[in-house]
Chain A
Amino acid sequence: MKRYKFKISGLDCASCANELEESLKKIDIIQNVTINFMTEKLIFECFEEEKEEALENIRRVIKKEEPDVEIKEV
């Protein structure tokens, strides 16, 4: 498992951040997902070889839940 950090911007409120985090937790191949509203960070763990698949899933969930939100690797 490797830890990945992304900058997540465009979240309107802390509650939306929590909800998005809940939805992302449902993705099987990623673990320990946290969204920190204050630092605008999305942190998760997954296997290195599954990173692309994980990102695809994350982007899909974000597009559905919070279309204004963008993520960028740091």
Chain B
Amino acid sequence: MTSKMKRQLFKIIFSFLFMVISLILKIEPDIYSKILFVIAYLIVGYDIVMKAFRNILKGKVFDENFLMTIATLGAFAIGEFEEAVAVMLFYQVGELFQSYAVDKSRKSVASLMDIRPDYANVYREEKTERVDPEDVNIGEVILIKPGEKIPLDGKVVEGESLLNTLALTGEAVPRRVSIGDEVLSGCLNQDGTLKIQVEKQFEESTVSKILDLVENASSRKSKSENFISKFAKYYTPIVVIIAVFLAFLPPLIIQDAIFSDWLYRALSFLVVSCPCALVISIPLSFFGGIGAASKMGILIKGSNYLEALANTEIIVCDKTGTLTEGVFKVQKVIPIGCSEKELLKYAAMAESYSLHPISISLREAYDKDINEKLVTKTKEISGKGVFAKVDGKEVLVGNEKLMDDEKIKFTRSEELGTVVYVAVDKKFCGSILISDKIKEDSYTATKEFKKNHVEKVVMLTGDHENISKSVAEKLNLDEYHAELLPQDKVSWVEKLMTQKSASGKLIFVGDGINDAPVLALSDIGVAMGGLGSDAAIEAADVVIMTDQPSKIVDAIMLSKKTMRIVKQNIIFAILIKIAVLILSAFGIATMWAAVFADVGVSILAILNALRILRVKNWIKR
């Protein structure tokens, strides 16, 4: 509790005591008891009355303070002392609870993103010094002990350890790092001591960028927020005007109508007309939603995007790096007349001088040191492959064309992907299949898309038709379009944008590097594997820190959950308010009910909104 809240609490308690004393003692003559009520009122309502007067001078008549002041002073005027105090008292209790809840949710969202490092241990003049991360310069070496947060981005120069990226990515599996590895600020060092050479200033470090993004996430407001603020703008004046009519018209028109009765009803109207209860729960819900998302490693740049995600109709995905791992790997080795190991050895050695991704993947699969002295007369045959003398044997590694050209009889492989054929001394030895692998997570994700009422999942890729087709079939996608140039992707997204319904949204998911135009064009641009990529964080509306497409499902589910709560709150608040208005117009509801319709409703709405923060309880797959 802040000191302001504590003061407020004291006032409430004192005021309540005075009220109770007055009620119990029933001091005679009546005037003493009334004085006690006035004291109780002033203790708890003085601030409000003062603010109200200040605001009238400025012409702000529909302000909450003013409405409460008129309502309670009116109650005094018609002799309802007890009620005047009670209304003010409960209004203040509600306000106190409200600020407590807001404060609490601010703090719990902040703790969800508790990644800000407090200090850095920097080596200066052969000693370590504990300084503010902002005071560390590029090139300095910092020491990170087990259990400490990495304060700045850099490179490991000494030590080895497991890093926990949970706070950044929502991903629980730790990552092993050793000398030469890049490390990102915000990760938790688990078991070893590391020395890191700093490569970025604190403001440029990953942790600062993420915090900045989360803290400014709600800079764009959602439709629901705009709706409710517009609603509040008309609602309050209308109710106040009706209240005025209610106070003065019936006594003039209806015979035997007692003015004070109708005034009482009108005063209840003023209490119900306060707009705050309606307004507060909506930004609070979105705030909670965005906070919960960051906890899962999903950064959402505005409540408008969180709102839009719930209406996802079409998901357009990039292939390489999004649905597939984006890394070429040897998937299959089919030797003929030799062992798998031998086949790989010849291929890897012949390709040992090349930096082509295919060659790299061959060497990775072989996974042994290559004695380069054994490889001679290496010759690249452009567009076809490589010739080399390995250990005195003539080795050819390449595609079908190479085999045809050299007139080598070989078995054509029907596998999808890149097939490398190997011949030793003009004799075919087998083939090796190298391809990009579909992420395990993509299978889960595409299945879950359908469960969440996504109508269409489309893959756009620059890759070959046959490979794309196989990926699309394996993942059960609705559509795919292959062999596209970047500008073709734009026109496909344009075309797909016309296929959705008026309220439906199109999401584009890519790695965020070459997709800037499509990310901007789609309703929601999602960049994957955002950890460490500034370009992705910059270009997208939603950044997924890990490279799991299933996080999109989480984001959609979270969005739906948030929207359900937002709708519940809007409907609940408006219904209760209208019900109480009608009941008080007929003199059935008392001012007590009116106070409930104001602060009671807002408290319930806030409690409802806070449910979003309990992510763990509902994300289960």
Q: How far is the CA of A13 from the CA of B279 in the complex (A)?
A: 8
Q: How far is the CA of A19 from the CA of B278 in the complex (A)?
A: 14
Contacts of A39 in B (CB 8 A): 106, 215-218, 287
Q: Is the CB of B221 within 8 A of A15?
A: no
Interface size on A, residues (CB 8 A): 18
Would A18 and B279 be within 8 Å (CB), given that A39-B287, A64-B58 are in contact? yes
Contacts of B229 in A (CB 8 A): 15, 18
Q: How far is the CA of A14 from the CA of B229 in the complex (A)?
A: 9
Contacts of A13 in B (CB 8 A): 64, 95, 98, 276, 279-280
Q: Is the CB of B64 within 8 A of A14?
A: no
Interface size on B, residues (CB 8 A): 30
Say yes or no: is A31 at the interface (Cβ < 8 Å to chain B): no
Q: How far is the CA of A64 from the CA of B63 in the complex (A)?
A: 14
Q: Which residue, B279, B286, B287, has most C-beta atoms of chain A within 10 A?
A: B279
Say yes or no: is A41 at the interface (Cβ < 8 Å to chain B): yes
Would A43 and B219 be within 8 Å (CB), given that A14-B280, A15-B64, A15-B279 are in contact? yes
Q: How far is the CA of A21 from the CA of B287 in the complex (A)?
A: 18
Shortest Cβ gap from B349 to chain A (Å): 56
Contacts of B475 in A (CB 8 A): none
> Which of B262-316 touch A at CB < 8 Å?
275-276, 278-280, 282-284, 286-287
Shortest Cβ gap from B564 to chain A (Å): 19
Contacts of B557 in A (CB 8 A): none
Smallest CB gap from B215: residue in A = A39
Q: Which residue, A13, A16, A64, has most C-beta atoms of chain B within 10 A?
A: A13
Shortest Cβ gap from B465 to chain A (Å): 45
Say yes or no: is B232 at the interface (Cβ < 8 Å to chain A): yes
Shortest Cβ gap from B302 to chain A (Å): 10
Q: Is the CB of B98 within 8 A of A36?
A: no
Contacts of A41 in B (CB 8 A): 215-216, 219
Contacts of B218 in A (CB 8 A): 36, 38-39
- B53-78 interface mask toward A, CB cutoff 8 Å, 1 = contact, 0 = none? 01000101001100000000000000
Would A14 and B58 be within 8 Å (CB), given that A38-B283, A43-B216 are in contact? no
Q: How far is the CA of A50 from the CA of B391 in the complex (A)?
A: 74
Q: Is the CB of A34 within 8 A of B219?
A: yes
Q: How far is the CA of A47 from the CA of B288 in the complex (A)?
A: 33
Shortest Cβ gap from B113 to chain A (Å): 12
Contacts of B102 in A (CB 8 A): 37-38
Q: How far is the CA of A48 from the CA of B457 in the complex (A)?
A: 44
> Which of A4-27 touch B at CB < 8 Å?
5, 12-16, 18
Smallest CB gap from A41: residue in B = B216
Q: Is the CB of A36 within 8 A of B280?
A: no
Q: How far is the CA of A8 from the CA of B147 in the complex (A)?
A: 35
Chain B's interface: helix, strand, loop or mixed, by majority? helix
Q: Out of B106, B220, B275, name the residue touching A15 (CB < 8 Å).
A: B275
Contacts of A70 in B (CB 8 A): none
Contacts of A5 in B (CB 8 A): 216
Q: How far is the CA of A51 from the CA of B311 in the complex (A)?
A: 39
Smallest CB gap from B288: residue in A = A38
> Which of B553-601 touch A at CB < 8 Å?
none
Contacts of B286 in A (CB 8 A): 38
Shortest Cβ gap from A35 to chain B (Å): 10
Would A18 and B219 be within 8 Å (CB), given that A13-B280, A37-B283, A39-B287 are in contact? no
Q: Out of A15, A36, A43, A67, name the residue touching B276 (CB < 8 Å).
A: A15
Contacts of A53 in B (CB 8 A): none
Q: Which residue, A5, A13, A15, A18, has most C-beta atoms of chain B within 10 A?
A: A15
Contacts of B98 in A (CB 8 A): 13
Contacts of B283 in A (CB 8 A): 14, 36-38
Would A15 and B215 be within 8 Å (CB), given that A38-B102, A38-B106, A65-B58 are in contact? no
Q: Which residue, A12, A36, A65, has most C-beta atoms of chain B within 10 A?
A: A36
Q: How far is the CA of A5 from the CA of B215 in the complex (A)?
A: 11
Q: Which residue, B95, B99, B276, has most C-beta atoms of chain A within 10 A?
A: B276
Shortest Cβ gap from A38 to chain B (Å): 4
> Which of A41-69 touch B at CB < 8 Å?
41, 43, 64-65, 67
Q: Out of B220, B275, B276, B284, name the residue touching A38 (CB < 8 Å).
A: B284
- B94-111 interface mask toward A, CB cutoff 8 Å, 1 = contact, 0 = none? 010011001001100000
Q: How far is the CA of A13 from the CA of B63 in the complex (A)?
A: 11
> Which of B99-131 touch A at CB < 8 Å?
99, 102, 105-106
Contacts of B284 in A (CB 8 A): 14, 38
Shortest Cβ gap from B364 to chain A (Å): 45
Q: Out of B54, B99, B219, name the residue touching A36 (CB < 8 Å).
A: B219
Q: How far is the CA of A67 from the CA of B65 in the complex (A)?
A: 14
Shortest Cβ gap from A53 to chain B (Å): 23
What are 17 sample pairs from A and B whose C-beta atoms fall under 8 A apart?
A: A5-B216, A14-B279, A14-B282, A14-B283, A15-B232, A16-B63, A34-B221, A37-B280, A38-B218, A38-B283, A38-B286, A39-B106, A39-B287, A41-B215, A41-B219, A64-B58, A67-B54
Instruction: List residues of A whose CB falls within 8 A of some B CB.
Output: 5, 12-16, 18, 34, 36-41, 43, 64-65, 67
For the complex of A and B, the 4 pairs showing the least CB-CB separation, nearest first, are A38-B287, A15-B279, A14-B279, A14-B280
Given A15-B278, A41-B215, 20 more pairs with CB closer than 8 A: A12-B95, A13-B276, A14-B280, A14-B284, A15-B64, A15-B229, A15-B232, A15-B275, A15-B280, A18-B279, A34-B220, A36-B218, A36-B219, A38-B218, A38-B284, A39-B218, A39-B287, A41-B216, A43-B216, A65-B58
Instruction: List residues of B whose CB falls within 8 A of some A CB.
Output: 54, 58, 60, 63-64, 95, 98-99, 102, 105-106, 215-221, 229, 232, 275-276, 278-280, 282-284, 286-287
